[in-house]
Amino acid sequence: MYDVIIVGSGGAGLSAALSAKEKTNKVLVISKTYPTHSQTVQAQGGINCVLDYENDSISNHINDTYKSSKELGNINTIKKMCESAQKTIIWLDKLGVPFSRDNSGKIAQRYFGGTKAKRTCYSSDYTGLKIIHTLYDNCIKNNIEFLNEHTLIDLIINENKYLGINVFNLLSGEVIDLYSKTLIIATGGYGNIYSTHTTNSVSTTGDGLAIAFKHGIKLSNLEFIQFHPTALKGTNTLISESARAEGAFLIDDEGNRFVDELTTRDEVARAIKIKIDNGENVYLDMRHINANIIKEKMPQEQKLIKDIMNLDVHKDLIPIVPAVHYTMGGILTDVSCETSIKDIYACGEVAQNNTHGANRLGGNSLLEIITFGKIAGNNAAEISLKKETNIPNKIEFNVINLILEKKLGKSIYKIKNDLSEAMFNYAGLYRTNNDLKKLHLLIKKFEEEYKNTGIENKSKKYNKNIVDYIELGNLLILSKLVCQSALKRRESRGSHFRKDYKQINKEYQKISTIQNIKERVEYKLEEAL
């Protein structure tokens, strides 16, 4: 019996683990892959924190975040994040994160979209990578227990009481039960509902969200999907906002700049999409940027562009497309990270704790995952110390055999790709009532296809196809919920743009919630609590 089980080992999961471990030794982290393979490694640009009080202020950070959320964020949660930002940075710095420094030895800061102040701390353009590796090194130092390559299958909940989880051990092919007093879900976002149009890791498949939904845990704001304006055309490889922050231009086929490069991501991405839909190409132009600045602040981007596109940032224009980057929706939590079921917490991209609202500011996600990861770890551990629980009777679980027994129909990989194309075409940067209705029918068709297929590989040992099968089931659940949420929000706000309702509508200045109540999907608009 563990005190705290954390499912997910990205920045939020590891921060939660380190913080829980300060209170109890009975902490277990479950990773679907390995901690350093997690999505967090891809966060290049930085982490927001006000350090320069002469030119910036915490209230500016709060206001910018709230403004970007299009008034769907909750001021108190945003305040919590922004006010503790400095503490968060100091914590990371102490753990050993090598933040880049300026000439006077202070932590260096750069501009990011949506702000007028230099507020983003960074480690060249490897900020997420260096944070996750430093967190991992500290987990190793603190003897934190890991189960790697274990996929979450289900939550064990009895009469609304949390008891434990079922996980699939990829190596052995067995499902095991694990019990704990509290659970932290930190499984990441759901970007792979657009798997062929996303910068996300292949593993970001919204597992925690879909499983939470099945158990009646309340989800929220699923319609808000952030597209990053600059991914490499053809591969969707992310080119960080730091490129534009350091002065890169966006230009069209005629060489004209057509959008303020440093406005919010949703606006830049839509401006690019309009060009592309008109049959034009859009390029990132870094040719005028000083070579030393590129070398010092964007070594990774330069390398990626060279390795993947065989282009030279000093001489060539870089063809880009917008791609799904971050999902604002998630498991609804309050400021203490608790979900709608007691003893279950959520943090990181899987959670919707009302900080990002309709649109997230660049540099705020690393801040959010670390800040609320720590809060979740601390709270879950504290609660667990006060709780008495007995291990329940073992529940027979046959899900893997059921998958293996299924006859092969349409390939799950084809279904996944078809789903992604449908999502991108009908619930992408622009949405309409008709498109979303078409999409709904398509998803139903994909669900049927999924029900009627299995996998070719029947072996038990390291059968990755089983994980792929389970993930696709989760992606289908989430696609449908995203589609329903997008259909119901008859307005345009932040990343959610309806061609048939182009204006912001005051009546919708509320978060959307979606919940499974006795096998019925209940959708509501609620005040951001």
- Which CA distances in Å does 393 have to 131, 178, 429? 40, 12, 48
Among candidate residues 119, 244, 265, 431, the one labeled active-site is 265
407 lies in the binding site for another protein (CB under 8 A): no
417 lies in the binding site for another protein (CB under 8 A): yes
196 lies in the binding site for another protein (CB under 8 A): no
Shortest separation between residue 169's beta carbon and another protein, angstroms:
12
User: Which 225-284 residues touch another protein, going by CB under 8 A?
Assistant: 235-238
DSSP conformation class of 404? H
Element (H, E) at 268: helix 265-277
Rg from Cα positions in the chain = 22
293 lies in the binding site for another protein (CB under 8 A): no
- Which CA distances in Å does 314 have to 241, 305, 461? 18, 11, 48
Q: Which is nearer to another protein, 171 or 402 (CB)?
A: 171
| Tokens at 66, concatenated | 């709230």
CA atoms in the 13 A half-sphere facing the CB of 5: 24
Within 10 Å of residue 468's Cβ, how many Cβ atoms?
Answer: 16
Shortest separation between residue 261's beta carbon and another protein, angstroms:
22
Residues in the chain: 529
Q: Do the beta carbons of residue 323 and residue 331 sit within 8 Å?
A: no
307 lies in the binding site for another protein (CB under 8 A): yes
* Stretch of 12-20, 34-42, 75-83, 471-479 lying at the interface with another protein (CB under 8 A): 34-42
* Stretch of 127-135, 278-286, 362-370, 505-513 lying at the interface with another protein (CB under 8 A): 127-135
Q: Do the beta carbons of residue 370 and residue 12 sit within 8 Å?
A: yes
Gap between the Cα atoms of 509 and 120, Å rounded: 29
Closest CA to 411 of 353, 457, 374: 457
Which residue from 300, 432, 509, 515 is in contact with another protein, where contact means CB under 8 A?
300
User: Which 103-122 residues touch another protein, going by CB under 8 A?
Assistant: 103, 105, 108
Q: What residue type is assigned to position 171 of the chain? A: L
Shortest separation between residue 196's beta carbon and another protein, angstroms:
11
146 lies in the binding site for another protein (CB under 8 A): yes
Rounded to the nearest 5 percent, the helix, strand and coil shares of the chain are 40, 20, 40
25 lies in the binding site for another protein (CB under 8 A): no
Q: Which is nearer to another protein, 50 or 121 (CB)?
A: 121
Q: Which is nearer to another protein, 39 or 495 (CB)?
A: 39
| Tokens at 417, concatenated | 């790709």
171 lies in the binding site for another protein (CB under 8 A): yes
Q: Do the beta carbons of residue 250 and residue 229 sit within 8 Å?
A: yes
Q: Do the beta carbons of residue 77 and residue 333 sit within 8 Å?
A: no
Gap between the Cα atoms of 468 and 524, Å rounded: 32
Gap between the Cα atoms of 9 and 490, Å rounded: 36
Shortest separation between residue 404's beta carbon and another protein, angstroms:
13
123 lies in the binding site for another protein (CB under 8 A): yes
Within 10 Å of residue 322's Cβ, how many Cβ atoms?
Answer: 26
Element (H, E) at 348: none
Shortest separation between residue 199's beta carbon and another protein, angstroms:
8
Which residue from 20, 272, 304, 466 is in contact with another protein, where contact means CB under 8 A?
304
95 lies in the binding site for another protein (CB under 8 A): yes
Q: What residue type is assigned to position 471 of the chain? A: E
Shortest separation between residue 170's beta carbon and another protein, angstroms:
9
265 is catalytic: yes
DSSP conformation class of 21? H
| Tokens at 195, concatenated | 């798997």
Closest CA to 340 of 348, 332, 329: 332
Q: Do the beta carbons of residue 443 and residue 483 sit within 8 Å?
A: yes
Shortest separation between residue 233's beta carbon and another protein, angstroms:
13
Gap between the Cα atoms of 415 and 35, Å rounded: 28
93 lies in the binding site for another protein (CB under 8 A): yes
* Stretch of 109-117, 265-273, 343-351, 408-416 lying at the interface with another protein (CB under 8 A): 408-416
Q: Which is nearer to another protein, 102 or 260 (CB)?
A: 102
Which residue from 1, 22, 98, 452 is in contact with another protein, where contact means CB under 8 A?
98
Which residue from 25, 96, 158, 452 is in contact with another protein, where contact means CB under 8 A?
96
Shortest separation between residue 456's beta carbon and another protein, angstroms:
5
User: Which 445-464 residues touch another protein, going by CB under 8 A?
Assistant: 455-457, 459, 461-462, 464
Which residue from 27, 41, 328, 358 is in contact with another protein, where contact means CB under 8 A?
41
Closest CA to 70 of 373, 354, 311: 354
DSSP conformation class of 198? B
Q: Which is nearer to another protein, 163 or 309 (CB)?
A: 309
Q: Binding residues for another protein, how many (CB under 8 A)? A: 59
User: Which 465-484 residues touch another protein, going by CB under 8 A?
Assistant: 465
Shortest separation between residue 284's beta carbon and another protein, angstroms:
15
150 lies in the binding site for another protein (CB under 8 A): no
411 lies in the binding site for another protein (CB under 8 A): yes
Contacting residues toward another protein, per CB under 8 A: 33-34, 36-39, 41-42, 93-96, 98-103, 105, 108, 123-124, 126, 129-130, 133-134, 137-138, 140-141, 146, 148, 171, 199, 201-203, 235-238, 300, 303-304, 307-308, 411, 413-414, 417, 455-457, 459, 461-462, 464-465
Provide the annotated active-site residues. Answer: 265
